[in-house]
């Protein structure tokens, strides 16, 4: 008597990529740490708006509109607030938030013992990296969008403006629609810079089991890049430093709008995204369960 065999039963079926991405999205956005981080980030525009409204006074002067002089441009000019807040947060807090998400994506899974199950599951290691990168992308977009929206509302309600217009650093006046378009451009550009940070953080996360190491490496790298950019003898390194051009968002407050700074920093960020994700895929393909 012959015994029927079913050879297809031994081949595990892969879950659809859409289902995997949805599961990652639900896991990332329901994590208390992520919700608290988003809440803290959205409080910053309110604090800046209230501080500017309370302080009042004349605008500061500055060659490039940086530092206190840039913040002073928000006085009576509320539509500037999204650009200023994104510029402030891009210096440290937003990269820190992205690094935390990327650290939890792989190193955090490894620390909690759940990465082993993901590596032996019929998901595919490249698809696993896509899942984790999608989670980082989602949190990044949500964070920047919330900051931009809250900044816009706080700027109009708390700070106010000259009948819905924006006064640029060049002294010209932009209408409401163009001011919103420029703030949206800065938000999209900021997402691009943060995706480069997230890609590098994922690469670091794939080689360690300690999420804190990822955060320290990313923040240390940002500080180191800032120091190198400030030393004249290392000026030749500036085109290769990720943080070079992070002040290009200020150009949205000039008229006519110069796009060279945003364009060059975007191309630089794209290179870091490719390198970071490439290293992550390579590491995960050869990482033992």
Secondary structure (DSSP) of 33-89? HHHHHHHHHHHHHHHHHHHHHHH--PPP--SS--HHHHHHTTTT-GGGHHHHHHHHH
52 found inside a domain: no
Instruction: Judge contact between 170 and 255, C-beta under 8 A.
Output: yes
The pTM of the full predicted model, rounded to 2 decimals, is: 0.88
Q: What's the CA gap between 48 and 57, in Å, rounded? A: 15
141 found inside a domain: yes
* pLDDT score at 61: 43
DSSP notation for 151-164: HHHHIIIII--SSS
Number of domains in the chain: 1
At 22-40, the pLDDT tens digits run 888 888 888 899 999 999 9
Residues 6+ apart with CB under 8 A from 176: 79, 164, 165, 166
8 found inside a domain: no
Among residues 128, 238, 142, 235, which one has the least CA distance to residue 190?
Answer: 142
51 found inside a domain: no
49 found inside a domain: no
Structure tokens at 216: 């320290």
* pLDDT score at 78: 85
159 found inside a domain: yes
Q: How far is CA 133 from CA 15, 21, 282, in A?
A: 18, 10, 14
3 found inside a domain: no
Structure tokens at 156: 């109009």
Band the pLDDT of 68: cuts 50, 70, 90: low
Instruction: Judge contact between 57 and 161, C-beta under 8 A.
Output: no
Domain span at residue 175? 16-42+62-285
243 found inside a domain: yes
Q: Average pLDDT of 1-17?
A: 54
């Amino acid at each position: 008597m012959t015994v029927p065999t079913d050879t297809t039963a031994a081949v595990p079926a892969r879950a659809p990529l859409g289902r995997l991405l949805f599961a990652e999205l639900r896991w990332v956005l329901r994590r208390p740490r992520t919700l608290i981080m988003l809440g803290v980030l959205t409080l910053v525009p309110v604090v800046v708006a209230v501080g500017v409204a309370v302080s009042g006074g004349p605008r500061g002067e500055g060659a490039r509109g940086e530092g206190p002089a840039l913040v002073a441009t928000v006085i009576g000019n509320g539509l500037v607030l999204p650009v200023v807040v994104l510029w402030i947060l891009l210096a440290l807090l937003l990269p820190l938030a992205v690094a935390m998400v990327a650290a939890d994506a792989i190193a955090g899974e490894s620390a909690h013992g759940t990465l082993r199950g993901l590596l032996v599951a019929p998901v595919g290691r490249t698809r696993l990296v896509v899942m984790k990168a999608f989670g980082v992308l989602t949190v990044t977009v949500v964070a920047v969008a919330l900051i931009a929206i809250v900044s816009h509302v706080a700027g109009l309600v708390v700070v106010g403006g000259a009948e819905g217009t924006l006064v640029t650093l060049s002294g010209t006046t932009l209408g409401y629609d163009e001011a919103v378009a420029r703030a949206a451009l800065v938000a999209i550009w900021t997402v691009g810079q943060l995706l480069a940070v997230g890609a590098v953080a994922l690469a670091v996360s794939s080689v360690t089991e300690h999420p804190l190491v990822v955060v320290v490496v990313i923040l240390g790298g940002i500080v180191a890049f800032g120091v190198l950019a400030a030393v004249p003898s290392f000026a030749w390194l500036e085109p290769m430093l990720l943080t070079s051009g992070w002040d290009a968002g200020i150009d949205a407050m000039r008229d006519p709008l110069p796009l060279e700074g945003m364009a060059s920093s975007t191309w630089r960020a794209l290179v870091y995204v490719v390198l970071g994700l490439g290293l992550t895929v390579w590491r995960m393909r050869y990482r033992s369960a």
